[in-house]
Copies of this chain bind each other. A is one copy, B any other.
Amino acid sequence: MKNSQLYKGSLNTIIMKLLEENGKMYGYEITQKVKAITQGELNITEGALYPALHKLEAEGILDVEIEKVDNRMRKYYKLTEAGTKETVNRLAELEDFIRTMQSLVNPKLEF
């Protein structure tokens, strides 16, 4: 998704957070949204996104709903009830992670 290896492992959290915020989204929409929010910093590739979405669906985190718009297929994903709960955990983990990395990189400061 980026030249930097750091983004590895963060895709699921990103997807879940966006869905929590926007209710339902389709794959292509997610890629564009992330690109916009990060001002081009982060480009999610399809090869990473679609398998991730399928896996989250298989795990019961996401529900899917197919629509046809302008004669093109769209698969809208939204969080299940379990997915909504899990998102809370994932976001807490992300905050812990960021705090931990800050403490490693900036050991002098308090956060």
Contact = CB atoms under 8 A, between A and B. Distances in A.
B98 A98 contact: yes
B37 A97 contact: no
Q: Give the interface size bracket for A toward B.
A: 20 to 34
B103 A6 contact: no
Interface of A: 4-10, 12-14, 17-18, 21, 34, 37-38, 41-42, 91, 93-98, 100-105, 107
Given A4-B96, A96-B4, A96-B41, A10 B107 contact: no
A74 B8 CA distance: 31
Name the 7 nearest CB pairs between A and B, nearest first: A5-B9, A8-B9, A6-B97, A8-B8, A4-B93, A38-B100, A6-B9
